[in-house]
Amino acid sequence: MRSFAGRDILSLKDFERNEFFHVLDVARQLEPIARSRRNSDLLKEKTMVTAFYQPSTRTRLAHEAAMHRLGGHVTGFSDAKMTRAGDWYQESIKDTVKMLEFYGDVIVMRHFQQGAPHEAAKWASIPIINGGDGWGEHPTQILTDLFTVWTEKGRIDGLNWLAVGDMRMRTMHSLAYALTQFDCPITFVAPPEMSLLPEFKEELKQYNLNFTEAEHVEQAIAKADVILVEPVVQPDYTKSRQEAGEHGLTPANYKITRELLANKAKSDAILLHSLPRMDEIPPDVDITRWSRYWQEAYNGVVMRMALLALVLGAME
């Protein structure tokens, strides 16, 4: 297997099947550190730099928490407006990264431009982790979701997935690429204007992903082992920042309610949402036996511990 030491984590399209299982296994090995709420010293001589050009709660702080759990150091920015990349100078990715690579040993980047972390990786001599790039991909989130499924269900192959939301979203792209490496049929449910793009569908067919599309969650929920939901009411990921404005409610086609789960879902199905949510999963679903999004949030720290340990060469 290829080593992860020094590698960028830009896209799940780059991942081989055995590499998924290796990352899951490393996460399983490191999980007791997070569970016992202690900090170890695995990365005590390493520093992570965060370069977040878009808002984030989970991705940035889970990476930071992961670094602290492994005894490492953290620096960086969470608001590009307070840097020369976000002020009058509009400093380029190249010029910014050529500085950041001297401030630490790995860079985690979120950007509103698709491909920005890839551009950073071209210039950086240290690993770049993609924390979400425009409509592109969100690889660390989907690795977190796979870890959640693997720990909850004991396997990944042979499970039926239902993905609900805006199929232009970066999480959906990473999910589809990841599932090409597993025996996992998936049904996508999205509003017509947010459905899978024709060129992306062609690409998925070439990878032999077993996928179908449906109009309403009611048509697909009964056979799902894993239900992954994202908002259809959401901001434009190509903008650096958007304040809350007027927005509509989620139509029933794309909503997972307590009644729907009770009446139609498998009793042992699990419900994932990377969050933040709007009204597509009402709060009264939170304490049902299907919900796993809080577990997913915990696993977000564990998975980032694994990725940081791997790309920094502390685990092989």
> From the CB of 174, what's the least distance to ligand CP, in Å?
11
Q: Give me the 231-270 binding string for ligand CP, x by CB under 6 A, dash otherwise.
A: ----------------------------------------
Note whether 58 binds ligand CP by CB under 6 A. yes
Note whether 275 binds ligand CP by CB under 6 A. yes
State the Cα–Cα distance between residues 130 and 137, nearest whole angstrom.
Answer: 8
73-77 and 47-52 strand pairing: parallel
Tokens of 263: 């009446």
Pick one of 11, 141, 234, 299: the residue that binds ligand CP (CB under 6 A): 141
Note whether 181 binds ligand CP by CB under 6 A. no
Note whether 57 binds ligand CP by CB under 6 A. yes
Note whether 56 binds ligand CP by CB under 6 A. yes
Note whether 144 binds ligand CP by CB under 6 A. no
Note whether 304 binds ligand CP by CB under 6 A. no
Judge contact between 148 and 293, C-beta under 8 A: no
Strand order in the sheet with 128-133: 73-77, 47-52, 106-111, 128-133
Note whether 174 binds ligand CP by CB under 6 A. no
Interface segment toward ligand CP; rule CB under 6 A; list 35-43, 52-60, 117-125, 226-234: 52-60
DSSP letters spanning 145-169: HHHHHHHHHS-STT--EEEES-TTS
Note whether 212 binds ligand CP by CB under 6 A. no
Identify the DSSP state of 240. S
> From the CB of 274, what's the least distance to ligand CP, in Å?
4
> From the CB of 144, what's the least distance to ligand CP, in Å?
9
> From the CB of 52, what's the least distance to ligand CP, in Å?
9
Token pair 């985690």 in the structure block, residue = 108
Token pair 């060469």 in the structure block, residue = 313
Note whether 59 binds ligand CP by CB under 6 A. yes
Query: How many chain residues touch ligand CP (CB under 6 A)?
Result: 8
> From the CB of 158, what's the least distance to ligand CP, in Å?
26
Non-local CB neighbours of 113 within 8 Å, separated by 6+ positions: 133, 134, 238
How far, rounded to the nearest angstrom, does the alpha carbon of residue 148 sit from its chain's CA centroid?
12
**Residue 211 forms beta bridges with which residues?**
186
Judge contact between 307 and 129, C-beta under 8 A: yes
Residues forming the site for ligand CP (CB under 6 A): 56-59, 132, 141, 274-275
